[in-house]
């Protein structure tokens, strides 16, 4: 009698858990608008992760469900999407967005409604203040700037011009790298923040060249990066060393001969886990990484699935505990993920690379 | 110095063709047609597709420009003509709506990634002290030829005289027996062709991307308005004025004046300079720099 | 689900303020303002700047209204000498210049990363926020209806239809434009202020020229020179735009199609209305002036 009661209770509990256990994850990313290239790449990373997770049987005995929403690069649309995910689809966690200006309001909303928020694209230091259930899977500005500055100074370059897009990413990158470079005794002669979407960057490049720096440190993406690399090549400005922050992102769309010889750093995508991810990406999309952002999408979803498996639940509060526990050293495609006390990724391994005739070469 | 002059010409050429297209269309169809910059996006995409299926580049470009010209005429007859009855602002917003639809179609068919024509990248050569590539020369040659051809048509042919007559006074032109509708069709076709060519020249030097059109709106409008809307050749001067200001603003080192090694205008304000010039110019020359006619509200 | 509906309603009410404001300029006075989003931005940055300097929301509202009035006067000053098309482009240019300044002057505006952390006026109480937004909308509606039904409203329509006649009848056209811009600036600035405190964040990405286009679409679809129409247009567009994600789930669309659907919905919807029903959902009522 007693044993059957226990059994009955157990069954009831089991079915109850099973009914509620499905892990539903939302994503709000820019699939249209000015940052569509990065948003699409974020989606690719998540898609590969989703296929891998579900091919291995899913989590909690069920396939993971991923609902991707387009933010359109607009705050109102992004908020609409986040609210829809939370209040209609009852997701446990939301991954996103790309630009800090959108990540911050949706992150605030998610924290306030008690859901998990995973930042995979914004590096503004203000992400740190979002609150108890917000995590950053990519290192905020401080982490990458420090690494890049050290690497640049190690090449013996002392007079630097920094080039970046005039958006939240570029402004944060430029000020972070400048600060770190100056700490190491280098001089930043100028910071050029270009306006995205122009038909030419010759004016910017020629202004930069007039200063005759030892090296340009730059970060750019999409058609702007390709155009700038091409025009630097045509103007002969590429004779001065160029150092790319996220080399694969900066050169993905460029013609090879315009970027051969560039120095750079990038995420550790040739580590034991990263290598497999790079191959999966190449196989699925027939190209090497378009931007550096897909890896974070991949890691975020994998991390959430691992956390749900560990917690045995898709409840946000339990997921949070599990994420903090996993965040003591999770091996992701973008390297080891370690969260600090503020749930931000505190360190991140990088590669030092150089662009050769046949692609990226380790230095 | 010669590099500066060369940059000036190159930069002028970037927007001049599309601005001329906008202004020419405005001379007869009195509203600023935002769809013009989207014609400049369709042109290179069509060329790209046609070249990919095996056509020679020049043939692909010719077919694409004619197709865009026809598209412009069709859109004008079916959409803009009707919208214009509700006012020029309505027609303008309608042309932006058409542009959004164009972007939607391109997004689904071509995708959001950048592409480029399959030309080998040529190393720059020295031309009178400026670094110039073959593709840049081709692009400049093509734009200059198109502009010259348009000017010749406008000033030395019967149809050109009809266009100018209709633009100056439509009623009078009609009274003298000019077929106003035919003239409108011709100029609309020409504006589609010019815009498509402008887009092709632009992507010869760089990339082609579905954001080309939206990115062109402000510079093209600035050039066309500075030159005086409806004054096609003024648009070239408008483009030149903007290019000159931008080149000077970007590459003048104010440092020595103030005892510093380097002091430049921050590049993130260069885009805004052209808008500022535009607003200032409009304050003092309300109908553009190169228009003499007096109009009153 | 209920929270989602409340959220959609709040945004719809806030958009309604912007639509009412543009409708007074475009619908009644014939002023084609392509820089409408800058008026919103003045209100939003007023709230954000006051917050970043440590003042309360009331000071933010005052600062926002002061900024918006200043900008409205600049727009009106330009309107004195320019034809309609040119004025539209000039307002667009000024809006773009202001967005550039907001992006670049990091010391003042936080640059591209904006100013975040503004307090919500009612904590996170959605019904309270909705009540406030709806009250603002209703008050604006009543005031603007009063304005357009007055003698001034008649003069404003004359400015739209027959500016030369209006001038010959002794109306001060520049003065009329200035007053229209000042009056319509207030709801736009108020919207910016409420929006800033609702999403708790203000940044230059909220000021793209394409946002102005959405407001235009609301007014044109709703009905030019009809206050109820403007509000209806704002509500309808917000509902449509908020339902795109649901349509995507129901139809299983891929991401390119979702992005394209968003463009097609606004662009195509607007175009259809312009072509087939240019007077909008609710047409202007002729002879609705009492005075």
For residue A17, what pLDDT is reported?
42
* Contact check, Cβ <8 Å, B270/A203: yes
For residue C255, what pLDDT is reported?
67
| Residue A134, both tokens | 């917000």
Neighbours of chain B (3+ CB pairs under 8 A): A, C
For residue A203, what pLDDT is reported?
86
- Taking the C-alpha atoms of residue C192 and residue C215, their distance in angstroms, rounded to an integer, is 13
* Contact check, Cβ <8 Å, A105/C249: no
Q: Describe the crossing of helices C209-222 and C2-22 by its angle, rounded to 10 degrees.
A: 90
Coil/strand/helix, residue B175 = helix
pLDDT of B294 higher than 50: no
| Residue C177, both tokens | 């434009």
Residues belonging to chain B: 297
Put simply, whether C242 touches A (Cβ < 8 Å) is: yes
Across the interface, which of B3, B136, B209 has its CB nearest the CB of A223? B209
Nearest partner of A248 among A295, A195, A179, judged by Cα: A295
* Contact check, Cβ <8 Å, A74/C211: yes
- Taking the C-alpha atoms of residue B281 and residue B237, their distance in angstroms, rounded to an integer, is 13
For residue A16, what pLDDT is reported?
42
- Taking the C-alpha atoms of residue B200 and residue A171, their distance in angstroms, rounded to an integer, is 33
DSSP 8-state code for residue B208: B
pLDDT of B80 higher than 90: yes
pLDDT of A174 higher than 50: yes
- Which span out of B114-118, C112-116, C158-162 was modeled with the highest average pLDDT? C158-162
Average pLDDT over residues C13-38: 95
Put simply, whether C242 touches B (Cβ < 8 Å) is: no
- Taking the C-alpha atoms of residue A43 and residue A36, their distance in angstroms, rounded to an integer, is 10
| Residue B123, both tokens | 């190393």
Put simply, whether C111 touches B (Cβ < 8 Å) is: no
C143-171 b/e with 16+ CB inside 10 Å = b?
A: ebeebbeeeebebbbbbbeebeebbeeeb
A9-18, A242-251, C161-170: which range is least confident on average?
A9-18
Across the interface, which of A70, A108, A168 has its CB nearest the CB of C200? A108
A357-361, B21-25, B65-69, C153-157: which range is least confident on average?
A357-361
| Residue B105, both tokens | 């179609």
Better-scored residue on pLDDT, A125 or C211: C211
Put simply, whether B126 touches A (Cβ < 8 Å) is: no
CB interface of A with C, residues 91-120, below 8 Å: 99-102, 104-105, 108, 112-113
A164-178, B191-205, C223-237: which range is least confident on average?
A164-178
For residue C124, what pLDDT is reported?
65
Question: In sequence order, which residues have a C-beta less than 8 Å from that of residue A51 and are 6 or more positions away?
Answer: none
Is B41 contained in some domain?
yes
For residue C201, what pLDDT is reported?
84
Question: In sequence order, which residues have a C-beta less than 8 Å from that of residue C84 and are 6 or more positions away?
Answer: B88, B89, B297, C30, C31, C32
Better-scored residue on pLDDT, B110 or A267: B110
What's the structural domain count of chain B?
A: 1
- Taking the C-alpha atoms of residue B64 and residue A47, their distance in angstroms, rounded to an integer, is 37
Better-scored residue on pLDDT, A172 or C190: C190
For residue C66, what pLDDT is reported?
98
A193-197, A257-261, C79-83, C115-119: which range is least confident on average?
C79-83
Please report the DSSP string for B70-129 in residue order. HHHHHHIIIIIHHHHTT-HHHHHHHHHHHHHHHHHHHHHHT-SS-B--S-PPPPPEEETT
Put simply, whether B211 touches A (Cβ < 8 Å) is: yes
Coil/strand/helix, residue A96 = strand
For residue C117, what pLDDT is reported?
81
Q: What percent of chain A has pLDDT over 90?
A: 49
| Residue A167, both tokens | 């958006």
Q: What percent of chain B has pLDDT over 90?
A: 38
Shared fold status for A2-138+273-346 and A142-267+351-362: yes
Q: How confident is the model at residue A12 (pLDDT cuts 50, 70, 90)?
A: very low
For residue A8, what pLDDT is reported?
46
Put simply, whether A66 touches C (Cβ < 8 Å) is: no
pLDDT of A9 higher than 60: no
Across the interface, which of A200, A234, A258 has its CB nearest the CB of B131? A234
- Taking the C-alpha atoms of residue B6 and residue A266, their distance in angstroms, rounded to an integer, is 37
Instruction: Write out the residue range of the structural domain in which residue B109 sits.
Output: 2-212
- Taking the C-alpha atoms of residue A169 and residue B98, their distance in angstroms, rounded to an integer, is 32
A146-155, B126-135, C29-38: which range is least confident on average?
B126-135
Q: How confident is the model at residue A132 (pLDDT cuts 50, 70, 90)?
A: very high
Question: In sequence order, which residues have a C-beta less than 8 Å from that of residue C179 and are 6 or more positions away?
Answer: C152
Can you point out the beta strands (E) in chain B? 125-127, 130-132
Q: How confident is the model at residue A115 (pLDDT cuts 50, 70, 90)?
A: very high
Mean pLDDT of chain C: 90
Better-scored residue on pLDDT, C99 or A37: C99
Chain segment A268-309, per-residue pLDDT in tens: 766 667 788 888 998 998 887 777 788 899 999 999 999 999
For residue A122, what pLDDT is reported?
84
Task: Give the CA distances from residue A227 to residues A220, A247, A259, B224, C66, in Å, rounded to whole numbers and listed in that order.
Answer: 10, 15, 11, 25, 42
Neighbours of chain C (3+ CB pairs under 8 A): A, B
Shortest distance, CA B34 to any CA of chain C (angstroms): 11
Better-scored residue on pLDDT, C254 or A47: A47
Put simply, whether B250 touches A (Cβ < 8 Å) is: yes
Chain segment B138-170, per-residue pLDDT in tens: 999 999 999 999 999 989 998 888 888 888 888
Is B236 contained in some domain?
no
Chain segment B10-29, per-residue pLDDT in tens: 889 888 999 999 999 998 88
Neighbours of A361 (CB within 10 A): 10
Neighbours of A155 (CB within 10 A): 14
Q: Which CATH number applies to A2-138+273-346: 3.30.70.270, 3.30.70.2190, 3.40.50.2300, 3.30.930.10?
A: 3.40.50.2300
Size of interface B-C (CB pairs under 8 A): 134
* Contact check, Cβ <8 Å, A101/C262: no
Shortest distance, CA C130 to any CA of chain A (angstroms): 15
Chain segment B193-215, per-residue pLDDT in tens: 999 999 999 998 888 888 888 88
Please list the residues that pair with A216 across neighbouring strands: A161, A242
For residue A308, what pLDDT is reported?
95
Q: Describe the crossing of helices C2-22 and C173-199 by its angle, rounded to 10 degrees.
A: 160
Best probe of the A interface among B15, B19, B100, B114, by most A CBs < 10 A, is: B114
Listed as own residue / partner, the contacts of B43-50 with beta carbons closer than 8 Å and 24 or more positions apart are: B43/B68, B43/B195, B43/B196, B43/B197, B43/B198, B43/B199, B43/B200, B44/B196, B44/B199, B44/B200, B44/B202, B44/B203, B44/B208, B44/B212, B45/B106, B45/B110, B45/B208, B45/B210, B46/B196, B47/B117, B47/B200, B48/B115, B48/B117, B48/B208
For residue A251, what pLDDT is reported?
87
CB A274 within 8 A of CB A295: yes
Mean pLDDT of chain B: 87
Q: How confident is the model at residue C229 (pLDDT cuts 50, 70, 90)?
A: very high
Question: In sequence order, which residues have a C-beta less than 8 Å from that of residue C257 and are 6 or more positions away?
Answer: B108, C248
* Contact check, Cβ <8 Å, A76/C263: no
B92-96, C66-70, C285-289: which range is least confident on average?
C285-289
**Chain A residues inside the 8 Å CB shell of B105:** none
Q: How confident is the model at residue C246 (pLDDT cuts 50, 70, 90)?
A: confident
Q: Which CATH number applies to A142-267+351-362: 3.40.50.2300, 3.40.50.150, 3.60.110.10, 3.40.50.1820?
A: 3.40.50.2300
pLDDT of B44 higher than 80: yes
Average pLDDT over residues A301-329: 94
- Taking the C-alpha atoms of residue B40 and residue B202, their distance in angstroms, rounded to an integer, is 9
The residue of chain B with its CA nearest to that of A195 is B268
The residue of chain A with its CA nearest to that of C12 is A76
Average pLDDT over residues B93-115: 88
**Chain C residues inside the 8 Å CB shell of A105:** 116, 199-201
CB C211 within 8 A of CB A75: no
Chain segment C152-171, per-residue pLDDT in tens: 999 999 988 888 888 888 88
CB B159 within 8 A of CB B186: yes
CB B277 within 8 A of CB B264: no
C75-104 b/e with 16+ CB inside 10 Å = b?
A: bbebbebbbbbbbbbbbbbbbbbbbbebbb
pLDDT of B187 higher than 80: yes
Shortest distance, CA C185 to any CA of chain B (angstroms): 20
Which sequence spans correspond to the domains of chain A? 2-138+273-346, 142-267+351-362
Terminal Cα distance for chain B, rounded: 45
Is B223 contained in some domain?
no
């Amino acid at each position: 009698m007693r044993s059957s009661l226990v059994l009955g209770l157990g069954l009831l509990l089991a079915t109850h858990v099973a009914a509620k256990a499905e892990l539903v994850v939302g994503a709000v990313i820019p699939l249209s608008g000015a940052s569509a290239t990065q948003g699409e790449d974020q989606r690719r990373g998540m898609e590969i992760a989703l296929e891998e997770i579900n091919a291995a049987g899913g989590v909690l005995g069920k396939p993971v469900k991923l609902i991707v929403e387009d933010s359109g690069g607009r705050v109102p649309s992004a908020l609409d999407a986040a609210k829809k995910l939370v209040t209609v689809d009852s997701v446990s966690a939301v991954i996103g967005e790309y630009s800090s200006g959108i990540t911050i309001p949706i992150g605030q909303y998610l924290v306030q409604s008690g859901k998990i928020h995973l930042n995979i694209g914004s590096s503004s230091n203000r992400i740190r203040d979002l609150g108890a259930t917000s995590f950053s899977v990519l290192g905020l500005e401080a982490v990458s700037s420090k690494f890049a500055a050290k690497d640049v100074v190690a090449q013996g370059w002392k007079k630097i011009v920094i080039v970046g897009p005039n958006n939240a990413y570029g402004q944060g990158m430029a000020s972070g790298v400048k600060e770190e470079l100056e700490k190491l005794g280098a001089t930043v002669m100028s910071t050029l923040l270009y306006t995205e979407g122009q038909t030419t960057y010759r004016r910017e490049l020629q202004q930069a060249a007039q200063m005759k720096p030892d090296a340009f440190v730059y970060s750019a993406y999409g058609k702007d990066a390709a155009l700038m690399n091409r025009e630097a090549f045509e103007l002969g400005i590429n004779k001065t060393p160029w150092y790319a922050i996220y080399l694969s992102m900066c050169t993905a769309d460029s013609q090879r001969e315009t970027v051969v010889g560039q120095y750079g750093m990038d995420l550790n995508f040739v580590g034991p886990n990263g290598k497999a991810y790079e191959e999966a990406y190449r196989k699925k999309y027939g190209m090497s990484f378009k931007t550096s952002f897909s890896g974070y999408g991949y890691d975020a979803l994998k991390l959430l699935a691992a956390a749900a498996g560990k917690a045995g639940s898709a409840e946000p509060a339990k997921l949070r505990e599990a994420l903090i526990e996993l965040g003591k050293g999770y091996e992701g495609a973008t390297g080891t993920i370690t969260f600090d006390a503020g749930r931000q990724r505190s360190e991140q391994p990088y590669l030092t690379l150089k662009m050769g005739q046949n692609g990226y070469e380790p230095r | 110095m010669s590099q500066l002059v060369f940059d000036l010409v190159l930069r002028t050429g970037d927007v001049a063709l599309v601005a001329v297209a906008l202004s020419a269309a405005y001379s007869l169809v009195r509203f600023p047609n935002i769809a013009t910059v989207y014609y400049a996006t369709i042109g290179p995409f069509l060329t790209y597709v046609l070249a990919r299926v095996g056509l020679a580049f020049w043939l692909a470009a010719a077919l694409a420009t004619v197709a865009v010209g026809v598209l412009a005429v069709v859109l004008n007859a079916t959409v803009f003509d009707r919208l214009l009855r509700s006012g020029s602002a309505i027609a303008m917003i309608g042309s932006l709506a058409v542009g959004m639809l164009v972007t939607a179609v391109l997004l689904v068919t071509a995708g959001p990634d950048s592409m480029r024509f399959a030309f080998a990248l040529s190393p720059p050569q020295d031309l009178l002290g400026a670094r110039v590539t073959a593709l840049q020369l081709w692009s400049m040659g093509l734009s200059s030829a198109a502009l010259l051809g348009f000017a010749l048509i406008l000033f030395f042919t019967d149809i050109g005289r009809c266009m100018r007559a209709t633009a100056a006074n439509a009623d009078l032109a009609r009274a003298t027996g000019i077929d106003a509708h035919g003239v409108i069709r011709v100029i609309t076709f020409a504006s589609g062709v010019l815009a498509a060519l402008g887009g092709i020249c632009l992507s010869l030097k760089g990339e082609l991307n579905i954001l080309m059109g939206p990115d062109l709106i402000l510079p093209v409008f600035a050039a066309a308005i500075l030159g005086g809307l409806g004054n096609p050749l003024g648009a070239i001067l408008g483009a030149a004025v903007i290019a000159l200001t931008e080149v000077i603003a970007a590459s003048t080192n104010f440092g020595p004046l103030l005892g510093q090694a380097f002091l430049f205008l921050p590049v993130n304000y260069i885009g805004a300079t052209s808008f500022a010039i535009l607003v200032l110019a409009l304050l003092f020359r309300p109908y553009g720099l190169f228009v003499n006619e007096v109009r009153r509200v | 689900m209920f929270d989602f509906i409340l959220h959609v309603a709040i945004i719809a009410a806030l958009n309604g303020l912007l639509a009412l404001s543009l409708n007074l300029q475009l619908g009644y006075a014939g002023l084609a303002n392509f820089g409408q989003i800058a008026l919103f931005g003045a209100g939003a940055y007023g709230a954000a700047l006051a917050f970043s300097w440590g003042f309360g929301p009331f000071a933010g509202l005052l600062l926002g209204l002061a900024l918006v009035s200043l900008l409205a006067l600049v727009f009106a000053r330009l309107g004195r000498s320019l034809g309609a098309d040119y004025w539209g482009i000039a307002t667009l240019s000024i809006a773009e210049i202001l967005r550039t300044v907001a992006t670049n002057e990091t010391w003042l505006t936080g640059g591209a990363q904006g100013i975040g952390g503004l307090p919500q006026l009612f904590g996170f109480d959605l019904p309270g926020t909705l009540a406030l937004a709806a009250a603002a909308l209703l008050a604006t509606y009543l005031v603007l209806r009063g304005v357009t039904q007055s003698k001034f409203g008649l003069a404003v329509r004359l400015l739209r239809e027959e500016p030369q006649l209006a001038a010959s009848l002794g109306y001060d056209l520049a003065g009329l434009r200035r007053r229209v811009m000042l009056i319509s600036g207030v709801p736009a600035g108020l919207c910016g202020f409420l929006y800033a405190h609702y999403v708790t964040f203000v940044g230059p990405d909220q000021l793209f020229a394409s946002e102005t286009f959405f407001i235009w679409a609301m007014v044109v679809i709703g009905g030019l020179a009809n206050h109820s129409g403007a509000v209806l247009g704002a509500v309808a567009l917000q509902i449509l735009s908020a339902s795109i994600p649901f349509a995507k789930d129901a139809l299983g669309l891929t991401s390119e199609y979702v992005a394209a659907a968003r463009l097609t919905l606004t662009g195509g919807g607007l175009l259809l209305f312009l072509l087939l029903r240019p007077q909008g959902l609710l047409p202007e009522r002729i002879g609705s002036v009492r005075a």
